[in-house]
Amino acid sequence: MLSRVADSIYWMARYMERAENLSRLLLSTQDLLLDAGEEAADESQFWGPILMTTGDEERYDKVHTTIEGELVALFLALRTDNPNSILNCVRAARENARTVRDQISDELWECINGLRLFLESPEAAALHQNQRAAFYEKVLVASYQFQGIAASTTPRDESWHFLRLGLCLERADKTTRLIDTCSAISLDMPPNPLARPLRWAALLRSSSAWHAFQAYSSNKLNPVDIVEYLLPNDTFPRSFAWCIEAMHTALIALCGNGRLEEMKVPVRLLGRLRADIAYITMDEVLKEGLHEFIDRLQSKLNDIGASILQTFVLYGDSAPVIGEASFLAYHPKVEANMQIQQ
């Protein structure tokens, strides 16, 4: 498979997953506010952490002076000047799909293209204005469709593995960022006045894990249990450990296991992270500090993402990888190619 094709499939999956996560986050925050009662008087304490999760604080501050729900929701959903908005993520997914259209199924293409067409339509803006929940649900359903179609129409060759790598890496990253929004609040249970069960419930909802967690834990809404469920526990398909496991499967399929000296960099990096998360106890996590622990996971994830790009796409070029920059796939921030002549 061509590196460019691999890169585009990988980013197509990442951007679709990013759009889905963003929609769910906005939906659950909105729900959280409805339950928050008096606490909700200060909106910014709910919407601020969201901007932190998506890493868009700085960009938001450039266009708005105050953090208001309306503005944040629009900024993250439909603003074209926010490269990470749902709209721009779907556009990027679609552009990447377009360049490899002959390599993916027609159904998959139609699903992505259909979602893009909707998001660019006036109906989408109206729906977001009037029935925000329905808007987010529509994006969520399209993303589930994308995954279903991908699962049932993609041959289990390199295309599938790159698609899985992109999807799971994005999901693992977003799960850690979600948990991080709660890392500053107390891990205590009620009746301790510091306990914030609502916020923990929102975390579960943002991860689609509410029902699954209810069935899993008898200790309803124990923060430590929730973190355990979303981090080292590998049973739930949005937990960090589950994503790492799925990435591992895909990576081994792509480059084999082999002896340590011959092992490709992403396999080694991922293997270490996988062992780390499999054998860590919650006590150790809490001792290190939740935020610090998550920080460490995220930096490792970044290294893995960079090494994937280096190994499969940029190899041979000694170009260092900066952030998520790559010059093969389409990204919303990407600069137009230009030519010069003297």
Partner 1 sequence: MSSLFNDYQPGSFFDEMFSAPDSARSHYAGITGSIGTLSPAEYAARQRTADTVFLRQGVTFTVYGDDQGTERIFPFDLMPRIIPHKEWERVESGLIQRITALNLFLNDVYHEQKIITDGIVPRELVESASHFRPEFKGVKVPHGIYIHICGTDLVRDGKGEYFVLEDNGRCPSGASYMLENRNAMKRTFPGLLQSLPVRPVDAYGSMLRETLAHLAPLSVIDPNIVVLTPGVFNSAYFEHCYLAKQMGVPIVEGRDLVLKNDRIFMRTAKGLQQVHVIYRRIDDDFLDPLVFRKDSLLGVPGLVKAYQSGHVALANSIGTGVADDKAVYALVPKMIKYYLDQDPILPNVTTYLGVDPKECEYILANLPNLVVKAVNESGGYGMLMGPHSTKEEQTEFAERIRANPRNYIAQPVLQLSRHPVFQGDHFEGRHIDLRPYVLYGDRIQVVPGGLTRVALKKGSLVVNSSQGGGSKDTWVLWDDE
Partner 2 sequence: MNYRITHRTTYEYSSRVAVSHHAARLRPRDTETQRCQDFSLSFDPEPDLLTEHTDSFGNRVSCFSIQKLHAFFEVTSLSYVKLSPVLQPDPAQTPPWEQVAALFRDPVPFDLLDPCQFVFRSPLLVHEMPLREFALPSFKPGRAVLAATADLCARIHLEFVFDPKATTISTPLAEVLEKKRGVCQDFAHLAIASLRAMGLPARYVSGYLRTHPPAGKPRLVGVDASHAWAACFVPGFGWVDFDPTNDCFTSLDHITVAIGRDFSDVSPVRGIITGGGKHSVEVGVDVEPLGA
Using CB distances below 5 to 8 A depending on partner kind, what does residue 315 bind out of partner 2, partner 1, none? partner 1
DSSP state for residue 209 in the 8-state scheme: -
Give the end-to-end CA distance of the chain in Å, rounded to a whole number: 37
Positions 102 through 141 that interact with partner 1 (CB under 8 A): 102, 106
Among residues 58 and 335, whose Cβ is nearest to partner 2?
335
Which of 32, 76, 124, 254 is in the footprint of partner 1 by CB under 8 A? 254
Among residues 65 and 337, whose Cβ is nearest to partner 2?
337
The nearest distance, CB 318 to partner 2, in angstroms, is 5
CA–CA separation, 237 vs 172, rounded Å?
Answer: 10
The nearest distance, CB 332 to partner 1, in angstroms, is 17
Using CB distances below 5 to 8 A depending on partner kind, what does residue 335 bind out of partner 2, partner 1, none? partner 2
Among residues 160 and 327, whose Cβ is nearest to partner 2?
327
Contacts of 329 by beta carbon, 8 Å cutoff, 6+ apart: 4, 7, 8, 10, 11, 96
Tokens in use for 40? 């909700």
Using CB distances below 5 to 8 A depending on partner kind, what does residue 162 bind out of partner 2, partner 1, none? partner 1
Contacts of 266 by beta carbon, 8 Å cutoff, 6+ apart: 251, 255, 304, 307, 308, 311
Exposed/middle/buried for 100, CB within 10 Å: 0-12, 13-18, 19+?
A: buried
Contact between 315 and partner 1 per CB under 8 A: yes
In the complex, which residues of this chain contact partner 2 (CB under 8 A)?
316-320, 322, 327, 335, 337-342
Exposed/middle/buried for 156, CB within 10 Å: 0-12, 13-18, 19+?
A: exposed
Stretch that binds partner 1, among 94-102, 131-139, 177-185, 318-326 (CB under 8 A): 94-102
Q: Rounded to 10 degrees, what is the CA torsion of 107, 109, 110, 116?
A: 150
Which of 3, 105, 208, 217 is in the footprint of partner 1 by CB under 8 A? 3
Contact between 341 and partner 1 per CB under 8 A: yes
CA–CA separation, 107 vs 222, rounded Å?
Answer: 42
Residues that bind partner 1 (CB under 8 A): 1-4, 6, 98-99, 101-102, 106, 158, 162, 254, 312-313, 315-316, 328, 337, 339-341
